[in-house]
C-alpha cells in the first residue's frame, strides 16, 4: 500500500515537472518587456544574459501613473546626458559590455555604441532598432537609455537578444490621469474601475524570470503536499 502511494506520488511529480519544462525553457530566453522610469539626467540599462549576436527592440515614451515593472533593468546615475531643450524623448544606446560600463561610469570620458542601433543624436519618443542580419561574433549586448529631460520619464520597452525571437508587443499602460477644469460633484462618485491593463508577461532583467520559476516550483510543492495529504488520508481510511 505504501509502495503504491509512493509510485503515484512519483508519477504525479514527474508529470508536474514535465509540464513545467516548456515554461522554464521560454523564460530562459533573453527576451524582456516592461515599463521603466528614469529620473532626470539618469540612465537605465539592460544587458543580455548570454552572449548573443542580435538585438531587436522597441522603446516608447509613455505618460502613466503606473509603477514601473519590478526588476526590469537597472537605474544608475550614469553619464550626465546632453540637454536638448524643447525636444522631448529619451536617448538610446546599443552597445556591448565594455560600452555599457563606460556609459554608466560618471567618470568615463566617452563611451562606445552602435550608432545604427541607437537613437543617440536627438531624444526620441519612439525608437525601434534591429540587428538583422545579426553580428558575426557573439558578445554580451546591452541597451542603455538616458533621460536628458528635467523630469522623470517613463517608457515601455520590449527587447529580444535572441535571433529568431521577436520582441513582445509593447506593454499597454493606462494613460496618466489629467486634470479637467470642471469639478467633479462629490455626490456622483463614479465606481472605480479596474484600470490595470492586461499586459503581456514580463520577463525580468535581473533574475531572468527566476521569480516566475520560483512560483512555478512553489505551485508544484503545493500540489505535491495536497496530493500527499489526500493519499495519506485515503491510506488511513482504507486501513481502518
Ligand X SMILES: *[C@@H]1O[C@H](CO)[C@@H](O)[C@H](O)[C@H]1NC(C)=O
**Grid coordinates in use for 14?**
514527474
Among 28, 139, 207, 211, binds ligand X (CB under 6 A): 139
Least distance to ligand X from the beta carbon of 79, Å? 17
Identity of the residue, 98 or 232, whose beta carbon is nearer to ligand X in the bound complex: 98
Least distance to ligand X from the beta carbon of 104, Å? 14
Question: Facing residues of 127 across strands?
Answer: 59
Least distance to ligand X from the beta carbon of 155, Å? 20
Identity of the residue, 18 or 137, whose beta carbon is nearer to ligand X in the bound complex: 137
Identity of the residue, 105 or 126, whose beta carbon is nearer to ligand X in the bound complex: 105
x/- mask, ligand X, residues 169-208, rule CB under 6 A, reads: --------x-x-----------------------------
Residue identified by cell 537578444 is 161
Count of residues that bind ligand X according to CB under 6 A: 8
Identity of the residue, 42 or 96, whose beta carbon is nearer to ligand X in the bound complex: 96
Least distance to ligand X from the beta carbon of 145, Å? 19
x/- mask, ligand X, residues 8-37, rule CB under 6 A, reads: ------------------------------
- Which value, in Å, is the radius of gyration of the alpha carbons in the chain? 24
Which of 62, 96, 63, 100 has the alpha carbon at shortest distance from 79?
100
Identify whether the C-beta of residue 102 lies closer than 8 Å to the C-beta of residue 111. Answer: yes
Give the span between the Cα atoms of 175 and 28, in whole angstroms: 31
x/- mask, ligand X, residues 87-126, rule CB under 6 A, reads: ---------xxxx------------x--------------
Identity of the residue, 179 or 239, whose beta carbon is nearer to ligand X in the bound complex: 179
Least distance to ligand X from the beta carbon of 189, Å? 17
Least distance to ligand X from the beta carbon of 30, Å? 16
Identify whether the C-beta of residue 32 lies closer than 8 Å to the C-beta of residue 205. Answer: yes
Give the interface with ligand X as residue ranges (CB under 6 A). Answer: 96-99, 112, 139, 177, 179
Amino acid at each position: 500500500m505504501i509502495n503504491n502511494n509512493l509510485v503515484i506520488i512519483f508519477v504525479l511529480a514527474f508529470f508536474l515537472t514535465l509540464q513545467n519544462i516548456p515554461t522554464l525553457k521560454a523564460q530562459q530566453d533573453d527576451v524582456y518587456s516592461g515599463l521603466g522610469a528614469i529620473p532626470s539626467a539618469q540612465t537605465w540599462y539592460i544587458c543580455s544574459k548570454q552572449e548573443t549576436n542580435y538585438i531587436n527592440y522597441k522603446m516608447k515614451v509613455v505618460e502613466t501613473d503606473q509603477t514601473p515593472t519590478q526588476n526590469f533593468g537597472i537605474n544608475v546615475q550614469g553619464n550626465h546626458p546632453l540637454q536638448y531643450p524643447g525636444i522631448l524623448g529619451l536617448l538610446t544606446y546599443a552597445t556591448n559590455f565594455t560600452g555599457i560600463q563606460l556609459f554608466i561610469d560618471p567618470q568615463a570620458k566617452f563611451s562606445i555604441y552602435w550608432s545604427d542601433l541607437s537613437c543617440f543624436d536627438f531624444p526620441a519618443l519612439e525608437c525601434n532598432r534591429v540587428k538583422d542580419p545579426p553580428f558575426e561574433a557573439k558578445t554580451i549586448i546591452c541597451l542603455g537609455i538616458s533621460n536628458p529631460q528635467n523630469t522623470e520619464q517613463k517608457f515601455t520597452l520590449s527587447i529580444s537578444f535572441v535571433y529568431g525571437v521577436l520582441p513582445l508587443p509593447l506593454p499597454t499602460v493606462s494613460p496618466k490621469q489629467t486634470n479637467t477644469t470642471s469639478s467633479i460633484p462629490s455626490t456622483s462618485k463614479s465606481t472605480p474601475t479596474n484600470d490595470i491593463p492586461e499586459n503581456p508577461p514580463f520577463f525580468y532583467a535581473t533574475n531572468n524570470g527566476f521569480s516566475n520559476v520560483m512560483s512555478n516550483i512553489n505551485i508544484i510543492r503545493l500540489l505535491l503536499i495536497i496530493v500527499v495529504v489526500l493519499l495519506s488520508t485515503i491510506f488511513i481510511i482504507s486501513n481502518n
